[in-house]
Amino acid sequence: MLSRVFMMIMAFFSATTAFADSAIQIDGAYVREPIPGRYMSAAFMNIKNDSAKEKILVSAKADWAGLIEIHTHIHDNGVMRMRQMMELTIPAGESVSLQPGGLHLMLFKLELPLSEKLPLTLCFKDGSCETTTAVLRSLK
Ligand SMILES: [Cu+2]
């Protein structure tokens, strides 16, 4: 009887640990302050995958943005253009950096004015989601 209780406690602890041991770490998230009168902007961050499996970002959501798309920049005859990506793979044990001029989350239908701290949730193909807080960063 005692060993059965012990087993249950162990099972509980290992389940708790698995839950707390999140595979995805999001660092340095920020939202660029929108140009006055505009309802769109971009978010940048570093996404680190600490798990042994690749993680595939498929969507992002926030209360303060009506639509969020994953974008990258491509060179097209000397012109930088943005292109939507339906998926962004973060390989096992690696980081992907979203930064100006490259990958970013494109934010549409912003609810202005934005607050200084902006909760942002990233969701992955395996059904898991991770929430971070992006800070609002001024254009200057
Ligand atoms: Cu974009």
Q: What are the tens digits of pLDDT across the range 63-79?
A: 999 999 999 999 888 89
Q: Work out the average pLDDT over 115-126.
A: 97
Ligand 1 center to 85 CA (angstroms): 10
More confident residue, 78 or 97: 97
Q: How far is the CA of 79 from the centre of ligand 1 (A)?
A: 14
**Residue at 6 is within a domain:** no
Measuring CA to CA, which residue among 95, 111, 93 is closest to residue 103?
95
What are the tens digits of pLDDT across the range 1-36? 556 655 555 555 544 444 445 699 999 999 999 999
Tokens of 1: 């009887």
Identify whether 1 is part of a domain: no
Residue 16 counted as domain residue? no
Q: How many structural domains comprise the chain?
A: 1
Domain around 34: 23-137
Q: How far is the CA of 34 from the centre of ligand 1 (A)?
A: 13
Max CA separation in the chain (angstroms):
73
pLDDT band at 105 (very low <50, low <70, confident <90, very high): very high
Which pLDDT belongs to residue 16?
Answer: 45
CA 128 to mean position of chain CA atoms: 11
4 Cα–ligand 1 center, Å: 55
pLDDT at 18: 45
Q: State how far the Cα of 70 lies from the Cα of 55, in Å rounded to an integer.
A: 15
| 3 state SS of 133 | strand
Task: Please give the distance, rounded to the nearest whole angstrom, from the Cα atom of residue 93 to the centre of ligand 1.
Answer: 26
Q: Is residue 73 part of a domain?
A: yes
CATH of the domain at 63: 2.60.40.1890
> Is the preceding omega at residue 91 within 30 degrees of 0, hence cis?
no
Q: Is the pLDDT of residue 94 over 60?
A: yes
Cis peptide before 113 (omega within 30 of 0): yes
H-only helix segments in the chain: 2-20
According to DSSP, residue 115 is labeled: P
